[in-house]
Structure 1
């Protein structure tokens, strides 16, 4: 029994791509999003490119189209990512989604246009032959393409398993910063009077991929004036806390140090400082 899909397959690809975009924008997770995402990256770009280049039935058979679709997708998607890397948007979820969608849309439009110029009998249609074909009856090229298809699918599934099961650990560091009045990176105290209290905000952001215990100190002339903590932050958790300091004697270019300690270590993990002039 032979089944043929007479509708233009690029229309289906565009429809599924729109559904995936809705899932991503609405932050919906699940098996459907994973399957659509894999197809969107590993199959759709290559298939629409093949459909645009070879719209006729006799150009390529189904096995060749499927094998080349996976192979070209694996070649095209990294190239688009490389191009995005040199743009202001960078390699992030929405720029990648939009870029792949535009490429898939344009190639689908070209494929549909070229296929419509052919007679109905010459157009390629997705067909399914229920009868099993013996390996020995396949031509040498079909055997090579079938092996390449199986290898590509195994590679894609293995890569997806690795990405989803192995924790994604990037650079491990802690962000430490000072904010002036109004919670902005400006208007820091530069000139103060003796005995006058000035306030800044110390910010800490954990990018260590694990919970970390922190302690912060304010030092002047090597003496600890104020200590904050200990406080614990989970990965990607942020803490902003106001800290005040004052000086009792006049001083020119007094170095006010802000030190951050991690996990009870004696050596500072991060350090910042301000130069202030103290007047009577």
Structure 2
């Protein structure tokens, strides 16, 4: 068996292996993006068509090229649909393994079919052969012009698709802001305390804003009621709690694969010295905090412009979290 007669299929297999290695060891490389494009949009259809039609006269080169792209676009979603009904799901590793196995199996089938063919099709293109494929000499001037336009359109479409895939638009910019109980879980929050008793929560922030951001966290102790009849909020007490802080975080990508990991977490311990029903509000601001009015003599900001911060937090225009706490003697 002359290996050069199967150079295209060997190349598909080798490039598939190289892509697998690049994904694990150089996931951000430009070569990985280029190979990934061919791996998804060309290789599956190419090996499938080559296995089905090994003889030269069954299809011409342009038909094979077009069908390779078209069938790849059909095969890859079907493999994804099949993975959706397996325990592995539609994830990077299962898709990578499935497509690699598909390329290997049909490359082997194509090698066998080509070896058994009477007049095997072996891809090797020269300018003379290209003219023969296009029937260039027998074509009219209009046909030649349309052929050139078609080829330019195909090349432009492939180039545009490659650019869009290799330069995706940034995802939605957002910040994860959360509080956890003292055990690091979304449970066991200190919602029932006695006067002076310490409660502890964990404040967490994850930056997905695609830029470095300085975050400012304000913590307020608030006593309020909501009148459902008039749809109004009445704030009776609003006092700053100790422990305000700021932190600058770089942007991190959203992790789809693997376990979620925190970026910044801080233990916060507090106590409330007055019995009653209270709300502890955690307000998050980006880049710079809002200006606050001068502190009232009694420390209660409920009748100052600072109350707008809580109202905005209730309306959702300020990113915030709250704990409802009952304090007894």
Tell me which moved more, 185-194 or 32-41: 32-41
The SS at the match of 1:160 is helix
Alignment match of 1:155 (pick from 133, 154, 157): 157
- Residues 224 and 212 (structure 1 numbering): CA distance in 2 closer, same or farther, change over 3 Å? same
Q: In 2, are the aligned partners of 1:81 and 1:91 still within 8 Å (CA)? A: yes
Matched residue, 1:193? 194
Does 1:65 find its partner at 2:89?
A: no
Q: In structure 2, how many angstroms separate the alpha carbons of the residues matched to 1:95 and 1:168?
A: 25
C-alpha deviation, 1:75, in angstroms: 4.4
Equivalent residue number for residue 96 of structure 2: 97
Q: Distance in 2 between matches of 1:105 and 1:149?
A: 30
Distance apart, 1:187 and its partner CA? 2.1
- How is 1:12-91 mapped onto 2 (pairs within 5 angstroms)? 12-27=11-26, 30=29, 32-77=31-76, 80=79
How far apart, CA to CA, are the structure 1 residues paired with 2:154 and 2:78?
18
Larger Rg: 2
Residue 232 of structure 1: how far off its partner (Å): 2.5
Does the 8 A contact of 1:215 with 1:227 survive in 2?
A: no
Q: Deviations over 1:5-51 (max 9, x none)?
A: 41263233112201111111112654543442332123211211211
Q: Which of 237, 252, 271 does residue 236 from structure 1 map onto?
A: 252
| Structure-2-length-normalised TM-score | 0.69
How do 1:132-147 and structure 2 match up within 5 A? 133=131, 136-137=136-137
Residues 103-118 of structure 1 correspond to what in structure 2 (within 5 A)? 103-116=102-115, 118=116
- Report the equivalent of 2:124: 127
Structure 2 residue 320 is the aligned partner of structure 1 residue 271: yes
SS at match of 2:6: coil
> Which secondary structure does the structure 2 equivalent of 1:73 belong to?
helix
Deviation at 1:130? Answer: 5.7
Q: Which runs of 5+ in 2 are unaligned?
A: 224-237, 254-262, 291-308
Contact conserved, 2:56 with 2:120, CA < 8 A, in 1? yes
Distance 1:46 1:147 in 2: 25
Q: 2-side partners of 1:139 and 1:88: how far apart?
A: 55
Aligned partners of 2:62, 2:46: CA distance in 1, in Å? 12
* Structure 1: gaps of 5 or more residues: none
Q: Give the corresponding residue for 1:257.
A: 281
Q: Determine the C-alpha separation between the residues in 1 that align with 2:154 and 2:82.
A: 24
* Higher strand residue share: 1
Where 2:66 maps in the other structure, the secondary structure is helix
TM-score under structure 1 normalisation? Answer: 0.79
Partner residue in 1 for 2:170: 169
Corresponding pairs, count: 272
Shift of 1:159: 2.4
Contact 2:212 2:249 in 1 (8 A): yes
